[in-house]
Amino acid sequence: MTAKKAEKNENNFFPVLAKYKADEIKIEDQGLARYINLETENIYTGGIYSNKLFAKSKIPIVERLINNMMRTENYNGKKTKAYKVVRKAFEIIDKKTKSNPMQVFIDALQNAAPKEETTRLKFGGISVPKAVDVAPQRRLDIAIRNICHGAVNTTHNNKKRIETCLADEIIKASKNDTASFAVAKKNDVERVAKSAR
């Protein structure tokens, strides 16, 4: 194999996440299980599910993480750049935890997904907060969004790179550590919902 081919194979990063085995991943939260697609090979769906009702669950969970990373100003519309961040973050998780980064990420999602939140009901002109159960699809959306927000917020006024911050956020959330932005946010929402029961 020539040096150019080897370099091309190294730069072809699309199948890199496929090295993390999805068949040995355990999802303990059965409510979230049917909404988590563990595919890691074809993570560029290209919006084929965008106009279909509830089709978000068919998008691979790693791609959904990448798409949420694109919400920030530095990665807005730059999917390849966001993919590289997620790939490097998974490599950092692999080095730090010595376990499958996909399993760590799934554990983080399960710990960061709120089970209860509040809504406002109107009774005779006054708004009353009422606790409601959160739909599994929304639980997953909130968890992914909060993990990405936590990583981005950590990088402000900090010398750490975004991939290190994302890896730290995922590791903390997987251990259910309150230092994680996503877990702290979940606890906040559930505490408010508990008082509104």
Strand, helix or coil for residue 161:
coil
Is the pLDDT at 57 greater than 70, yes or no? yes
| 55 falls within a domain | yes
Separation of alpha carbons 114 and 174, rounded Å: 14
The predicted structure's pLDDT at residue 91:
92
Give the range of the structural domain holding residue 151, as residue numbers without chain letter.
3-107+135-172
Separation of alpha carbons 173 and 190, rounded Å: 16
Q: Residue 161 is part of a domain; what is its CATH number? A: 1.10.455.10
Between 41 and 174, the more confident residue is 174
Q: Which amino acid is at 110?
A: Q
pLDDT tens-digit readout, 63-110 = 889 888 888 777 787 888 888 899 999 999 999 999 999 999 999 999
Between 94 and 5, the more confident residue is 94
Separation of alpha carbons 168 and 89, rounded Å: 9
The predicted structure's pLDDT at residue 105:
94
Residues 6+ apart with CB under 8 A from 19: none
Is the pLDDT at 154 greater than 80, yes or no? yes
| 29 falls within a domain | yes
The predicted structure's pLDDT at residue 158:
85
| 187 falls within a domain | no
**pTM confidence score:** 0.84
| 182 falls within a domain | no
Question: Could you tell me which of 121, 123, 145, 141 has the C-alpha nearest to residue 131?
Answer: 121
Long-range contacts of residues 39-48, Cβ cutoff 8 Å, at least 24 apart? 40/102, 41/15, 41/17, 43/14, 43/17, 43/83, 44/14, 44/79
| 59 falls within a domain | yes
| 195 falls within a domain | no
| 74 falls within a domain | yes
Q: Number of structural domains, the chain?
A: 1
| 194 falls within a domain | no
Q: Which amino acid is at 16?
A: V
